[in-house]
Structure 1
Amino acid sequence: MWRFSVAGLPLNERPSSHVVRPSGCPGLLRVVQALDGGICRIKLDGGSILADQADAVASVAERFAGGVIEATNRANLQIRGIGPGHDALIEPLLAAGLGPRKPAGDDVRNLMLSPSAGIDRQMLFDTRPLAEQILATLQTHERFHELSAKFAVQLDGGEALAMLEHHHDLWLSALVRDGDPWLVFGLAGTPLDKPAGRVPLAQGHALVVAVLELFLDLARPDQNRMRHVLAETPADEFLARLARRVPLQPCPDWRRDASIDGLHIGVHPQHDDRVYVGAMAPLGRLDAVMLRGVAQLAREKGDSSLRFTPWQSLLLPSMRREDADEVLARLEELGFLGSSDQPLAQLVACTGSSGCAKALADTKADARRLADLLQSQGQLIKIHLSGCPRSCAAAHAAPATLLAVAPGRYDLYFRDATLPGFGALQAHNLTIEALGHWLDARPPEPL
């Protein structure tokens, strides 16, 4: 298994608790208040965490918070319901090696890999060594601390299990031509888009540094995403400037195959003679008992590591095939979902009004009611429940979205590539029960 070498920070290197950074996003070193208490977001290197580190997260969630742990759509973890005195919560997490290399680098550790990096049977090459380089630079290059906490990079090795729908400020994707490894890249989009060019794999780190430095050269203080800069500086001009820093080559014939749906849950073969076992935290939420239990499984049956995914699920890698069914059964006993044929495994919901002041409905509770209703009707459809238009729980438009308009009431949208936002409005002001009748009368296409 792999991990990045991140040591706990000495006290004299940590920011004081009164330091305010220009972001409303929670981090490990910045607890943000919500209706249900403070939120601490723990950014995981490539989504990976060791079993002992998972135990540390479980312990602080019990001791200093309400015990609620969330898997995010960027393969991180966050603890909710934190009470006063949150410095005491941060210390054990730093001691477990979950902190940044430099305090100011906490916000910018935004590099998303495939959850199956290094083990995927379809991967073109292992992206983890390059990922380690990029993450180290993001945290230690002082200028990159100017980046927004939302600025994000994706590194894709051609895996069958890869989130290809989340937009990133910079994306890089593996390519092999005549036996040589390359990185195709693009700006403000996804690997499914037309690329901006390609560089040899050996130039991948230099490319990332050059793109980020050029972005910071061009961006005004209020422009925190690549799309904001490209709205004023045409992409051709940006790339011409970039080519003066790193030699670029065109890539006219690029086509990234779509990822295979469902590989984040269940038992799947690795590139070696082992398998990984995936299971989903219902609606992205788990508690200390669940996290501790899965950490113990990783020790007993795997390589003592866990990998969280952008689908709010987790993988236990490097399992023996003969242990896989037992591991999956034990995950389900802990409360995880082990099969994608369960309606609850197809639903995504934001925190909702129980924890967020902006939400107009209790989306988590409504999602569970909806799952029960869909189960009784034999329906299986991917639905995103959002308490407000910000769409915090989903980084891309889902096939169907329920946008809250009042407690227990939602507008229904279907994704439409020709329309912005959630897509085309289908029905207005539906209750969960009315939605069930609506879907029953208009069965959606199979997943």
Structure 2
Amino acid sequence: MTTQTTPAEQASDAAAARSERPARPARAARPNGQWKIDGKTPLNHNEEFKQESDSLAVRERIENIYAHEGFDSIPGDDLHGRFRWWGLYTQRKPGIDGGRTATLEPHELEDRYFMLRVRTDGQALDANALRVLGEISADFARGSADITDRQNIQYHWIEVESMPEIWRRLDAVNLETTTACGDSPRPFLGSPVAGVAADEILDPTPVILEIKKRYIGDPDLANLPRKFKTAITGHPSLDVVHEINDISLVGVRHPELGAGFDLWVGGGLSTNPRLGERLGVFVTAEQAPDVWHGVVQIFRDYGYRRLRNKARLKFLLKDWGTEKFREVLQSEYLGYELPDGPAPAPATRPGDHVGVHEQKDGRFYVGAAPVVGRVGGGTLTGLADLVEKVGAEAARLTAHQKVVILGVPADRVDELVEGLEPLGLTARPSLFRRSTIACTGIEYCKLAIVETKDTAARVIGELEDRLGDVEARLGRPISLNVNGCPNSCARIQTADIGLKGQIITVDGEQVPGFQVHLGGGLVEKGRDTAELGRTVRGLKVPSTDLADYVERVVRRYESDRDGTETFAQWAHRADEEALQ
């Protein structure tokens, strides 16, 4: 979710965006709010409230005031602004249809309950941590809990009165909500198999822990232009969707310097998708925290703050280019030059880690799929019990809304796999259950236009019945990403089939539907380059017809493909008629 703006603000931003005439390196004709160029004078209300009070300080007010005096005691800038720095957004009031999302003010859309994100940052969750997460769901969130594609646990129905106890429980198992949202360093993506995979290039866990120790919760980094997303992996499956983060550190082997990281910057999706770019440098594990800090400081000091829709690092990178970005990083923030380095090798296998895999210590890790990330209703506490029962070590979440159980003894693997099924998890999912993700949607999100989670679950069930024969012949997943609005929390532009929610007109009646993007994808096994999907012109699919459409386009792909041609390759060359 992002900060809701009114139609008037959107119109103003659009007009301002049309009038921008950036001129670098000199000052722009109209200031962009770059601190090192234009000074720190706030140019909009978001910048004003961030300078008025340290956003991180709102936790003390939540614990000492709002949790005792209730929802009505919360002032607007805390409720709609600073609460985000501790992972809290007001959720959508039930019963408001998607056609009214863009016309109502935030206070008209919001309920008196909160969505809460808990960051895991690639952390291994032992049975105690899993149990605490499950108990929070049962005690405070009406049984809700989702695995997001940022490796968070996301709850709903949270009351402000419950937050002190929730934080107390999370603190006890080394989990936190610090800067889980807001204009800040958001939760990190880390390899789910860090430290255990036999084919790992290097274990990124010490790097993630060191960055968190030094910088998460640092007031100097609590006022960024907008969100800042991080991904760090040392696994050759490239399992952290590195191309769409503000900064990614990807494991590589330098011919002289050994194992380290390749540095990527400036990725992001939403309504202006842009894939990240390599700076071409090699970063050692020891240098990685300083390099991360340098990149986030560039964003803080040079990022555009005047317009919210231009305030991501990708816009700065587009204007600067990689050569200037590298030079500024080295000269202004590091004080030394980084050596040139190699690009990551092609992915060796799927990065969702679903299935049974042997670890380097002879034990096993098992990747399991819920349905589009839903793990409420006792799934987390049940998984904690199962982990203890079979003597497994822990579990990690993935960037694909999956869970990976680590350290399973060889003689207990079958017991674990069978025990996952009653919990709504499976290590043997259908291709569509494995490859479908969905955002929160209109059920809880104030920005959403259509329902997503239940829609995706229904479509998966129908496709399993209809396309079981095709699955066996294709032999590889076709990714299906379902999003409730244009903001692409579910990465619609990087899916084989990406679905963007909107209200469409069918036979004169407005109904929930989706715009279709086809042929997107990130680097993975069998795909050596990332590419954004193509929009199928004029194609709008009603929500009720999604399964029909997916079946139709998949069968057309099967009949038209050239040999081993992937769905994405076919979708980019096919004519419009074939994609209808």
TM-score, normalised on structure 1? 0.85
Q: Does 1:361 align with 2:456?
A: no
The 5-angstrom pairing of residues 19-418 of structure 1 reads: 20=78, 26=84, 28=86, 30-35=88-93, 37-83=113-159, 85-87=161-163, 88-99=165-176, 108-147=185-224, 150-160=227-237, 162-176=239-253, 177-178=255-256, 180-189=258-267, 193-222=277-306, 224-244=311-331, 245-251=334-340, 253-261=342-350, 263-378=352-467, 379-380=470-471, 381-394=478-491, 397-406=494-503, 407-415=511-519
Counterpart amino acid of residue 360 in structure 2: H
CA distance in 2, matches of 1:90, 1:278: 29
TM-aligned CA deviation for residue 403 of structure 1: 2.5
CA distance in 2, matches of 1:325, 1:15: 47
CA distance in 1, matches of 2:368, 2:436: 14
Counterpart amino acid of residue 398 in structure 1: A
Q: 2:546 aligns with which of 415, 422, 432?
A: 432
Residues 159 and 272 of structure 1: CA distance in aligned 2, closer, same or farther (over 3 Å) = farther
TM-aligned CA deviation for residue 72 of structure 1: 0.7
CA distance in 2, matches of 1:135, 1:305: 21
Gaps of 5+ in 1: 1-11
RMSD: 3.4
Residues 23 and 246 of structure 1: CA distance in aligned 2, closer, same or farther (over 3 Å) = farther
Structure whose alpha-carbon radius of gyration is higher = 2
Seq. identity, %: 22
CA distance in 1, matches of 2:79, 2:302: 21
Counterpart amino acid of residue 356 in structure 2: V
Residues 160 and 233 of structure 1: CA distance in aligned 2, closer, same or farther (over 3 Å) = closer
TM-aligned CA deviation for residue 82 of structure 1: 2.2
Gaps of 5+ in 2: 1-56, 63-73, 95-112, 269-274, 472-477, 504-510, 522-528, 568-580
Contact 2:151 2:401 (8 Å CA) reproduced: yes
Contact 2:243 2:276 (8 Å CA) reproduced: no
Contact 1:147 1:224 (8 Å CA) reproduced: no
Contact 1:182 1:199 (8 Å CA) reproduced: yes
Contact 1:162 1:259 (8 Å CA) reproduced: no
TM-aligned CA deviation for residue 148 of structure 1: 5.8
Counterpart of 1:376 in 2: which secondary structure? helix
CA distance in 2, matches of 1:120, 1:23: 40
Count of matched residue pairs: 436
Moved more, 15-24 or 162-171: 15-24
Counterpart amino acid of residue 243 in structure 1: Q
Residues 221 and 120 of structure 1: CA distance in aligned 2, closer, same or farther (over 3 Å) = same
CA distance in 2, matches of 1:14, 1:357: 23
Residues 320 and 189 of structure 1: CA distance in aligned 2, closer, same or farther (over 3 Å) = same
User: Per-residue displacement from partner, 1:203-233 (whole Å, max 9, x unpaired)?
Assistant: 2222222222233222243464321322443
CA distance in 2, matches of 1:148, 1:97: 28
CA distance in 2, matches of 1:101, 1:42: 8
Contact 1:197 1:250 (8 Å CA) reproduced: yes
Q: 1:442 aligns with which of 545, 552, 556?
A: 556
Contact 1:122 1:160 (8 Å CA) reproduced: no
CA distance in 1, matches of 2:192, 2:387: 15
Hey, which of these two has a bigger chunk of helix by percent?
Answer: 2
